[in-house]
Amino acid sequence: MTSQNSGNRKSRLPEAPATRPAESLKQDILRHVLYSLGRDTERPDRQTVFRALALSLRDRLVEKWIASQRDIYSRSSKRVYYLSLEFLPGPFLRENLIALGLENEAREALTDMGFGLDDVADEEYEPGLGNGGLGRLASCYLDSMATLRLPAYGYGIHYAYGIFYQLIKEGRQVERADNWLRGGTHWEFERSHYVHPVRFYGQVREWVDEQGRLRHSLENATTVMAMACDMFIPGHKNDYVLNMRLWAAKTSREFEFSFFNTGDYIGAVEEKIRDENISMVLYPNDEAPEGKELRLKQQFFLVSATIQDIVRRFRKKGIAWDQLPRKNVIHLNETHPAVAIPELMRILVDEELLTWEEAWYICVRTFAYTNHTVLPEALEVWPEDLFRRLLPRHLQIIHEINRRFLHDVRRQFPNDPNILGRVSLVHEGESRWVRMSHLAIVGSFSVNGVSAHHSEILKESVFHDFYKIFPERFNNKTNGITPRRWLRQCNPTLAWLITEHIGPEWLTDLAQLKKLEPYVNSEGFHRAWMEVRLRNKHKLAEYIRDKNGITVMPESLFDVHVKRFHEYKRQLLNVLHVIALYNRIRSSPGSVTVPRTYIFGGKAAPGYYMAKHIIRLINSVAYTINTDPRVGDLLKVVFLQNYCVTLAERIIPATDLSEQISTAGMEASGTGNMKFALNGAITIGTHDGANIEIMEHVGNENLFLFGLLSHEVNEMRSQGYNPRLFYERDSELREVLDMIAGGFFSPSEPHLFRDVVESLLNHGDRYMVLADFRSYVYRQQDAANAFMDQAAWARMSMLNTSRMGFFSSDRAVDEYAKDIWGVSGV
């Protein structure tokens, strides 16, 4: 239908637009197929169609982004800069279509061209520019900042290689490089003329200028250029788009005339390669920094380029420096970008010639810091020598910050001389280390943890001294997740069912899910709810059959443990229980009545021996159980390789039981726990991180908590925890451990897993696996019993979803905006 043939019907029908949105989208796709991708429009392949669709959406995003930037500028709003070494956005296509309100149009346009939207969307390869929860949180927050129309910018690094691709080969994790840029990028704009110099190494020159001032400058520095790559993050149907700016390293040589004059061509090219290495690869260590020079370089690279961008924008305003904190807030996502504090000091003191006091006044009103972990090995420190070599001026500035800080602390606590050593920014012992968390706390006006429980632990133990010094800085911001991706997009049929009953407002006001509660007693709603969930399980079962060749029963209890592999997350505790169930099935076949499908997924840091070994153990156990004819359909164990955002989107909507079983006091918050509960899975978990708040919201009767509380963990440790006692007292546990140690699951290498058992029995069981085993087994039995009553289970599931409104990242970001950043929507 075109607008010309409307004739005299025109008066009766609403005016049709010149072209329908679906038609105009189709024209754009075809135009990009031809002119941007250089392909024949007659028979484009699916990948080409995906790219052309992405480019068509980018066109729409950039228009809205320009308009949003103009809005921010004309209102002279205070800006938020969110600095993070990691972002884990996941695939963009579906999310952008939903945000732009173009899903149906895209489906129609593609159908017209002979393609299905789902197939085309599956062509997208996600950028894995983060390790896990911390990076994914940053992306959820950008989504919410855009939806709340905040004047915000995300800043990160454009790694050429993201988190490795995980293969499971013969039960073992094998890492492959993740060449996410292989197919080109379709969402971003590379700003090749938009670069900032970043300077490392060299020596500090001290000199006195004509006005008699002591000046510092860096001589013989190495310069690398940071090039901006911009990706757009749209708010939900609000025409507002913000920018995630990722810096890619480029050699400065190409920007210097001298490049052409050096005789040493190959030498120059080698230098180029070395410089551009800075943004080559994301470090794959979750919660345990590697301490490599290149990593510190990456941190400074992000910080220096970003601060230059911030300062450039601020200068355009032509207002005094002391207004900087009134117009800007810089948020540090963990300590990774904390070198921003001495970098801003350096610019203000060395380049802008402010006094130290003036500069410091500005700094501590500009920075805010979020802590995401209390694991001692994850608290970031750098050897002072390395710092001195790479960032000599910054180390001097850190020393001066420390000197003044310790001077104040000495005055505040004259009777506690030991406090100085404890809070110093530099750890002094046999070797000297710069403590990044201390720098971040001293240089920020706000320090927050990521769940109520975690924030208390920060105040009571990890940062207790700092809490005494700066009590007003400490606060909590419980994490949240975006309901657009983690319900609407990943579980469209459930989302549709919800919208059908309570309208679509929940998408931007998740507390509205409460309105589902009256339906909890409606039989029709029950049925529909469980049908959707079962359909999701069927789809996952198909995926498992395709990928792993294992047939699982969709009606069985899907018990899911997906997240990074780390001993504190206790995948080992889970597998001990799996083995216990297996033994029960073997010894008394009638004793296990609820068939279960165990699904594991997650990556281990490539150098983390025990985490990788546990992956191997799980795969060995899976093989033994899945091939044992006595087990049949009662028990299946599946390890899905390469857990990532895309895979999470498949698994979460199909989960019945969500495993959140970290040692109490060790998981700062968790966000996977929220994604599962929002989609109607029931949690089995410990009293840790955000599990506690989930329990407070969904009700103790709608999840299964177990195990030691964090103060009990500490008490047990300080009284001398003896894991052997649990082994000796519990015959079921003993049998399980003896089987592992005796090679039951590794008959060709009987000693293979002996060290796993030894870590529990002879090396202290740092993560209290044995102490929690029995209560975990009991709670698992409760879960199985509950699952037998499908109506009651459905009720629990619906109540979980309906009561998860608090865990929206919109709520979390709104709290950040009001309590910390002092900004509101434009």
Among 61, 100, 109, 137, binds ligand GL7 (CB under 6 A): 137
Q: Which residues contact 54 (CB under 8 A, 6 or more apart)?
A: 92, 93, 124, 186, 187
> How crowded is residue 679: how many other Cβ atoms within 10 Å of its Cβ?
25
Q: Going residue by residue from 88 to 127, which x/- string records binding to ligand GL7, judged by CB under 6 A? A: ----------------------------------------
Instruction: State which residue, 44 or 133, has the beta carbon closest to ligand GL7.
Output: 133
| Shortest distance, position 471 Cβ to ligand GL7, whole Å | 23
* Minimum distance of ligand GL7 from residue 537's CB (angstroms): 26
> CA distances (Å), 783 to each of 92, 578, 789, in order?
36, 14, 10
Question: What gap in Å lies between CA 552 and CA 635, rounded to an integer?
Answer: 9
Q: Report in angstroms how near the CB of residue 136 gets to ligand GL7 at its nearest.
A: 8
- Smallest gap, in angstroms, from Cβ of residue 302 to ligand GL7? 17
What separation in angstroms does the CA of 806 have from each of 140, 368, 498, 561?
15, 23, 17, 23
Q: How far is CA 502 from the centre of its chain?
A: 30
Cβ closest to ligand GL7, residue 141 vs residue 360: 141
Q: Which listed residue (144, 173, 373, 759) binds ligand GL7 by CB under 6 A? A: 373
Q: In what order do the strands lie in the sheet with 557-562?
A: 635-640, 596-601, 557-562, 657-660, 682-686, 704-706
Q: Strands, E, within 665-814: which ranges?
A: 682-686, 704-706
What's the farthest any 2 CA atoms get from each other in the chain? 93
Query: How many C-beta atoms surround the C-beta of residue 285 within 10 A?
Result: 18
Structure tokens at 247: 């810096």
Ranges within 795-824 binding ligand GL7 (CB under 6 A): none
Residue 450 or 507: the one with the smaller Cβ distance to ligand GL7 is 450
From 162-170, 434-442, 462-470, 668-676, span contacting ligand GL7 (CB under 6 A): 668-676
The residue number with the shortest CB distance to ligand GL7 is 133
Question: Which of 39, 51, 158, 372: binder of ligand GL7 (CB under 6 A)?
Answer: 372
Identify the residue among 22, 80, 120, 134 touching ligand GL7 (CB under 6 A). Answer: 134
Query: Which tokens is 490 given?
Result: 């990943």
The answer to whether 727 and 570 are in contact (CB under 8 A) is no
Closest CA to 142 of 644, 509, 481: 481
Name the minimum Å distance from CB 370 to ligand GL7: 7
Residues 461-480 that bind ligand GL7 (CB under 6 A): 479
What is the spatial distance between Cα 750 and Cα 738, in angstroms, rounded to a whole number? 12
Q: Pick the binder of ligand GL7 from 132, 154, 392, 602 (CB under 6 A).
A: 132
The contact pattern for ligand GL7, residues 275-314, with x = CB under 6 A and - = no contact, is: -----------xx---------------------------
Measured from the CB atom, the residue of 131 and 802 that comes closer to ligand GL7 is 131
Rounded Cα distance between 341 and 361, Å, is 12
From the list 496, 530, 513, 593, the residue with the least C-alpha distance to 793 is: 530
Could you write out the DSSP letters of every residue in 180-195? TTTT--SSEEEEEEEE
Q: Does 567 bind ligand GL7 (CB under 6 A)?
A: no
Comparing CB distances to ligand GL7, the nearer of 131 and 619 is: 131
Strands (E), 338-488: 367-370, 381-383, 426-428, 432-435, 446-449, 474-476
DSSP state of 211: T
Which region, judged by CB under 6 A, interacts with ligand GL7, from 61-69, 267-275, 434-442, 662-670? 662-670
What long-range pairs does 34-41 form, CB within 8 A, spacing at least 24?
Answer: none
Sole binder of ligand GL7 in the list 670, 680, 707, 805 (CB under 6 A): 670
Q: Is 510 in the site for ligand GL7 (CB under 6 A)?
A: no
CB count in 10 Å sphere of residue 353 = 13
Binding-site member from 110, 425, 490, 668 for ligand GL7 (CB under 6 A): 668
- 143, 667, 693, 765: residue in contact with ligand GL7 (rule CB under 6 A): 667
Q: In this complex, which beta carbon is closest to ligand GL7, that of residue 57 or of residue 690?
A: 690
Amino acid identity at 13: L
Task: Note whether 450 binds ligand GL7 by CB under 6 A.
Answer: yes
Q: Toward ligand GL7, which CB reaches closer, 637 or 690?
A: 690
Segment contacting ligand GL7 by CB under 6 A, of 460-468, 590-598, 661-669, 739-747: 661-669
Q: Rounded to an integer, what is the distance from CA 473 to the centroid of its chain? A: 25
Distance CA 560, CA 781 (A): 16
Instruction: Read off the tokens for 722.
Output: 């003896």
Considering only 96, 366, 478, 669, the residue that binds ligand GL7 (CB under 6 A) is: 669
Of the pair 50, 767, the CB lying nearest ligand GL7 is at 767
Q: Which DSSP helix (H) or strand (E) runs through 246?
A: strand 241-251
Q: How many residues bind ligand GL7 (CB under 6 A)?
A: 18
CA pair distance 781, 787, nearest whole angstrom = 10
Return the residue of 48, 131, 299, 797 that touches ligand GL7, per CB under 6 A: 131
Say whether 485 sits in a helix, a strand or coil: helix
Which is nearest to 382 in space by CA: 435, 424, 330? 435
Cβ proximity to ligand GL7, 674 vs 770, nearer residue = 674
For tokens 């601020």, the residue is 314
- Selected binder of ligand GL7 within 91, 133, 595, 707 (CB under 6 A): 133
Per-residue contact string for residues 374-413; x = within reach of ligand GL7 by CB under 6 A: ----x-----------------------------------
Answer for the pair 540, 584: CB distance below 8 angstroms, yes or no: no
The region that residue 27 occupies, defined by phi over 0 for left and psi between -120 and 50 for alpha, beta otherwise, is: alpha
- Sole window of 255-263, 433-441, 667-675, 738-746 interacting with ligand GL7 (rule: CB under 6 A): 667-675
User: How distant is the alpha carbon of residue 398 from its chain centre?
Assistant: 29
* Catalytic residue numbers, as ranges: 372, 563-564, 569, 671, 675
Indicate whether 689 belongs to the interface with ligand GL7 (CB under 6 A). yes
- CB 369 to ligand GL7: min, Å: 13
Q: Which is nearer to ligand GL7, 479 or 556 (CB)?
A: 479
Window 243-282: contact mask with ligand GL7 (x via CB under 6 A): ----------------------------------------
Instruction: Between 132 and 202, name the residue whose CB sits nearer to ligand GL7.
Output: 132
In the complex, which residues of this chain contact ligand GL7 (CB under 6 A)?
Answer: 131-134, 137, 286-287, 372-373, 378, 450, 479, 667-671, 689
